[in-house]
Chains A and B, each alone.
Chain A
Amino acid sequence: MTLAVPRRRRAFFRAGWGKQLMLQAVLVFISFTVLFPLVWVVSMSLDPRNISRPTELTLIPPGASLQAYQEVIERPTSNPVTLFQLAFNSFGLAMGVSLGSLGLGVLAAYAFSRFHFPARRALMIAIVAVLMVPSVAALAPLFVFLNKIQISSGDFSFNLRNSLLGVGLALTSGALPFAIWNLKGYIDTIPKELEEAASLDGASPTQTFLRIMLPLATPALAVTAFLGFLTGWTEFVMSWQFLTNPENFTLAMALWNITGQYAGNTPWSKFSAMAIIVALPVSVVYLSLQKYIVGGLTVGGVKG
């Protein structure tokens, strides 16, 4: 980027040593503030000592070990549920939301982008309007409504509200407006010539959709799928309100559970290990996709 700058301006702007040093000092300080909480959590998670009383700041605590991780894996919270079960629930919920919102979303987005039909605009507005409603504002009716769907016969009883399926359905429905809006925005930018050519060659709309559209939309599909996954993986409000059986609990719930009502009771090392277990997988994927995600969001934002 600097190479493209004409020489005259470079000479004027090019940071001299003094300016370079000053800027570096500022940026190092900012980096420190950004990294501080993250380093602190990692450091705490390695601390094997009296885990309820961190009384000094150390980068690598004396006798660093993975003991806290071991404890978290064995028994993350006081509830009778293993970390494996929590992770399994979180993963299932996240995958369900991801695939559900992606699959339903891309179908609708394709239609909104490529077809003309009655009430197209009204439907799109109705869907996008939901984007601004935070799920917690409709929590009460959703709770009551899902709670009405109960099946019970003999020993078997099922309450949609008190199940991962119910939470997953609610989250999928909540994630759909964004998925449709985001995918439509991307499909709008794909030139129509290929589809038209396919159509002239006798391909049906469905064939065109499957063979031409889906492969071309892969980047947007990946981003939408990941953001849907993230929604399910980090969801707290509905799962905390809806789920009462520990065997259905998720990692996000367990993290808040470990944090406890009062910070004084927090098992700090266990909490930190748990925080890293929850954050690391999605953070790494986010990091590798961030170019597309943030780029897509800002482009979408400008387009309105």
Chain B
Amino acid sequence: MASFAITEAATAAPAGSRRGAPRWLIAYMYILPATLIMAAITYWPILFQVYMSFTDYGLRNLRFDAPAPNFVGLQNFIDLITNGITVIPNFSFWGMLAFNLFWTFSNVIFHVTIGILIAVVLNTPGLRFRGFYRAIFILPIVVPTLVVATVWRNMFDTDYGAINQGLAALGGLFGVTPDHFHIRWIDQIDPPIPGIPLPLSYFALLITNIWLGWPFMTIVATGALQSISKEYYEAASIDGASGVQQFFRITLPLLRPAMIPAAMYGLIVTFNLFNLIYMVSGGGPLRQTEILVTTAFRLVNEQRLYGLAAAFGIYTMIILLVLTLLTNRITKATESYV
């Protein structure tokens, strides 16, 4: 904050400035190019989106000399949340939102837990080959998600995928015939666990995203672990605390300030993980693993219902706004912790 005081003093002193242009004008000139681009290509379309969402804007309105779309009031907004979308079979806004939230939280819980555990293991004093493991564990972060998603999609293929072949090879060691490993990861409709309405493709997506997500959490946790003073552990071990006690009483509480913001970031990223869902499961089977962003894309790309898509996009933005405000609140609330 001290730095702001300096700027202010510097701003105040040469009120007119030696070179004529006042400093605020110079500042605006620096900001102008970015603002112009964003005004034209981000803010204006979002405003236009509000107008579109009240119309039945469709393919026929795209032509240059096309008539204006019909004003339909709140029809799009109402249709979306009352399952009035008949063009897409099995469309359920609330079911999709529930899945989207469950998908997000279940993934981030795995990411954070696994991330912390592996960071603690990697941080064990005297561990050999530490650098080697760190180098390998960074790989899921550096490979583009697009490529990861397409690769895992093929790995989950029923007939030729690496997962089923690997399981068959493993099963062969125990005398199980390969026929048992003809698992239809992506399109089996019956839920694998009776009573729990999650299709097998959810678990395929979960496996993929765990592979993708834990290394980031490990890096964050490693950074935080290295800043924990060793004296806490010394004192605890002198007092006779076991390793497990030290983990829960010292390590976890001191990791919290670093892990909470990382988890919040993870929540937003996972909530919008388009590539993974679109490319691995395609939202299937029967739209059971569809999330908001993949549906938004389908409404434009497949259905070409631009008005409806605009309304859907506005819902998505509102939901994200609420989610962001909530996570920011939690992050802020935990900042003072420790």
Interface residues in A28-61 (C-beta closer than 8 Å to B): 30-31, 33-38, 40-41, 53-57
**Which of B85-93, B97-105, B120-128, B193-201 sits within the interface?**
B120-128
A290 touches B136 (CB 8 A): no
Q: Please indicate which of the listed interface residues A4, A139, A174, A287 has the most CB atoms of chain B within 10 Å of its own CB.
A: A139
Which residue from B48, B162, B258, B313 sits with its C-beta under 8 Å from A40? Answer: B162
**Residue pair A192, B142 in contact (C-beta under 8 Å):** no
Nearest-Cβ distance from residue B109 to partner chain A, whole angstroms: 18
Q: In chain A, what residue has the closest Cβ to B294? A: A136
Partner of B293, one of A15, A26, A40, A136: A136
When distances are taken between beta carbons in the complex, the residues of chain A under 8 Å from B78 are none
In the complex the two chains form, is A55's CB within 8 Å of B125's CB?
Answer: no
Quote the shortest CB–CB distance from A119 to chain B (angstroms). Answer: 9
Contact with B along A172-185 (1 / 0, CB 8 A): 11101100100000
A-B contact count (CB 8 A): 312
Task: Mark contacts of B324-338 with chain A using CB atoms, 8 A cut-off: 1 yes-contact digit, 0 otherwise.
Answer: 100010011001000
Stretch at the interface among A74-82, A217-225, A262-270: A262-270
Tell whether A134 is near chain B: CB-to-CB under 8 Å.
yes
A73 at interface, CB cutoff 8 A: no
Tell me whether B320 is interfacial, beta carbon within 8 Å.
yes
Query: Are A145 and B44 in contact (CB-based, < 8 A)?
Result: yes
Cβ of A55 and Cβ of B321 under 8 Å apart? no
* B243 CB to nearest A CB, Å: 8
Given contacts A31-B133, A263-B153, A304-B332, contact A110 B30 (CB under 8 A): yes
When the two chains form the complex, which single residue of B23, B122, B186 contacts A205, counting CB atoms closer than 8 Å? B23
Q: A144-B62, A275-B147 are in contact. Are A24 and B129 (CB under 8 A)?
A: yes
In Å, the complex CA distance between A266 and B162 comes to 14
Question: What separation, in Å, do the CA atoms of A132 and B35 have in the docked complex?
Answer: 18
B244 at the interface (CB under 8 A from A): no
Least Cβ–Cβ distance between B7 and chain A, in angstroms:
6
Interface residues of B in 127-175 (CB under 8 A from A): 127-129, 133, 136-148, 150-157, 159-162, 165-166, 169
In the complex, the answer to whether A37 meets B45 with C-beta atoms within 8 Å is: no
The answer to whether B297 has its CB under 8 Å from any CB of chain A is yes
Q: How far is the CB of B101 from chain A (nearest CB, A)?
A: 16
Docked complex: A179-228 residues within 8 A CB-CB of B: 180, 188, 192, 196, 199, 204-205, 209
User: In the complex the two chains form, what is the Cα distance from A252 to B279 in whole Å?
Assistant: 12
Asked whether A15 lies within 8 Å of B125 as measured between CB atoms, the reply is yes
Q: CA of A275 to CA of B149 in the docked complex: distance in angstroms?
A: 10
Q: Let me know if A107 and B45 touch, CB within 8 A.
A: no
B299 interface residue (CB < 8 Å to A): yes
Q: Is the interface of B mostly helix, strand, loop or mixed?
A: helix
**Main SS class of interface, A:** helix
Cα(A224)–Cα(B23), bound, Å: 27
Report yes or no: B166 in contact with A137, Cβ–Cβ below 8 A. Answer: no
Known: A26-B121, A130-B42, A133-B320. A268 touches B230 (CB 8 A): no
CB of B183, distance to nearest CB on chain A (Å): 13
The one of A54, A107, A237 in contact with B31, judged by C-beta atoms closer than 8 angstroms, is: A107
For residue A127, CB closer than 8 A to chain B, the reply is yes
Q: Return chain B residues, CB-CB under 8 Å to A53.
A: 160
Residues of B within 8 A of A2 (CB): 125-126
> A302 and B138: CB pair below 8 A?
no
Residues of A within 8 A of B156 (CB): 263
Chain B residues positioned under 8 Å from A14 (CB to CB): 125-126
**A143 closest partner in B (C-beta):** B300
Identify the closest chain B residue to A57 (Cβ). B165
Judge if A66 is at the interface, Cβ distance under 8 Å.
Answer: no
B139 touches A38 (CB 8 A): yes
- For A1-39 the 0/1 string (1 means CB < 8 A from B) is 110111011101111000110011011001101111110
Most chain B beta-carbon neighbours within 10 Å: one of A35, A117, A147: A117
Give every chain B residue within 8 A of A122 (Cβ-Cβ). Answer: none
A64 interface residue (CB < 8 Å to B): no
Are A302 and B261 touching (Cβ within 8 A)?
Answer: yes
| Chain B minimum-CB-distance residue to A37 | B151
Closest to A303 in B: B261
Chain A residues positioned under 8 Å from B45 (CB to CB): 138, 141-142, 145
Interface contact A116-B7, CB-CB below 8 Å: yes
B216 close to A (CB within 8 Å): yes
Cβ of B116 within 8 Å of any chain A Cβ, yes or no, is no
Given contacts A57-B165, A255-B150, A279-B147, contact A117 B23 (CB under 8 A): yes
Assembled-state Cα–Cα distance A174/B24 (Å): 26
B31-A57 in contact (CB<8A): no
Given A6-B230, A9-B233, A34-B136, the answer on whether A137 and B313 have CB atoms closer than 8 Å is yes
B144 contacts A278, C-beta separation under 8 Å: yes
Query: Given the complex, which residues of B lie within 8 Å of A69, measured CB to CB?
Result: none
* A256 touching B42 in the complex, CB below 8 Å, given contacts A23-B124, A104-B37: no
Which residues of B1-57 have CB atoms within 8 Å of chain A's CB atoms? Answer: 3, 6-8, 10-11, 19, 23-24, 26-28, 30-31, 33-35, 37-38, 40-46, 48-49, 52, 57
30 contacts between A and B (CB under 8 A): A10-B126, A12-B237, A15-B126, A34-B136, A36-B162, A53-B160, A57-B169, A104-B37, A115-B27, A126-B43, A134-B316, A136-B293, A136-B296, A137-B317, A137-B320, A141-B49, A144-B62, A145-B44, A176-B42, A205-B23, A230-B144, A234-B147, A263-B154, A275-B151, A278-B144, A278-B146, A279-B143, A279-B144, A282-B144, A298-B223
What would 14 more interface pairs be, CB under 8 Å, given A14-B126, A105-B34, A145-B45? A30-B133, A34-B211, A37-B152, A104-B34, A108-B35, A133-B317, A138-B313, A172-B37, A233-B144, A283-B142, A290-B138, A298-B223, A301-B261, A302-B261
